[in-house]
Structure 1
């Protein structure tokens, strides 16, 4: 993944703490962040998507942002997510250098069980029922 340093990358910065969203990959079962050449850094995913559409570089986008742009031919997927199974791990070991993109994970967190109010439970159930199957673990 050293090749990412040779491209202009549009990098997402978390607004709360200023950390960058890493470009995570898995090779032979080991997770790593690829080094990138950050041309632009933003905490606005829509701005990064628009910059990519305009030819400003490559970026890592959430599926709900990227999929419509890919379907319209405005963006091209460079890396695709394959489900990790014993078969993909075995083939990665056999290929010796096969790299897969690391999926982003999302969690619903509460400080204490008593904060799991009916509204929060309803929101959790809504997410579980409405997210596409391929986005769920």
Structure 2
């Protein structure tokens, strides 16, 4: 049986998450959340690791696990019902690159 949707970032340890590896440093991306202005960083585990964010998205679309991807690439798939948001209230505000 599938795990219920996570209710808080700490619940991610019970889920198969799709990791992103930075191509330049080789480091795994640590998922970032926010609660009452406080930053929460969670290291997630899963069977898949990609160094291309679009491969992470493709794996999520194939039902291979939870993914942390930029909203702008997820929105079209959310609108069509192919992806669902989880932990929406925990997302940090992101105003892009500087």
How far apart are the structure 2 equivalents of 1:39 and 1:21? Answer: 15
Runs of 4 or more consecutive aligned structure 1 residues displaced over 4 Å after TM superposition: none
For structure 2, list consecutive stretches of 5 or more residues without a partner in the other structure. 1-8
Larger Rg computed on CA atoms: 1
For the aligned residue pairs, the C-alpha RMSD in angstroms reads 1.7
Q: State the alpha-carbon separation in 2 of the partners of residues 101 and 26 from structure 1.
A: 6
Q: Evaluate the alpha carbon distance shift between residue 103 and residue 42 of structure 1 in structure 2; reply closer, same or farther with a 3 A threshold.
A: farther
How many positions carry a matched residue from both structures? Answer: 89
Q: Normalising to structure 1: TM-score of the pair? A: 0.58
User: Residue in 2 aligned with 1:106?
Assistant: 97
Structure with greater contact order relative to length (CA < 8 Å, sep ≥ 6): 2
Alignment partners' CA distance in 1, 2:21 and 2:93: 17
Partner Cα separation in structure 1 for residue 38 and residue 69 of structure 2: 22
Unaligned runs of 5+ in 1: 82-99, 108-137
| 2:78 match | 70
Cα gap change, 1:12/1:32 in structure 2, threshold over 3 Å: closer, same or farther?
same
CA distance in 2, matches of 1:102, 1:39: 26
Pair 1:35-2:43 in alignment: yes
* Alpha carbons 1:2, 1:35 under 8 Å: kept: no
Q: Distance in 2 between matches of 1:106 and 1:7?
A: 29
Identify, as 1 or 2, the structure richer in helix: 1
TM-score by length of 2: 0.79
1:53 aligned onto 2:44 = no
How much has 1:11 moved relative to structure 2? 1.1
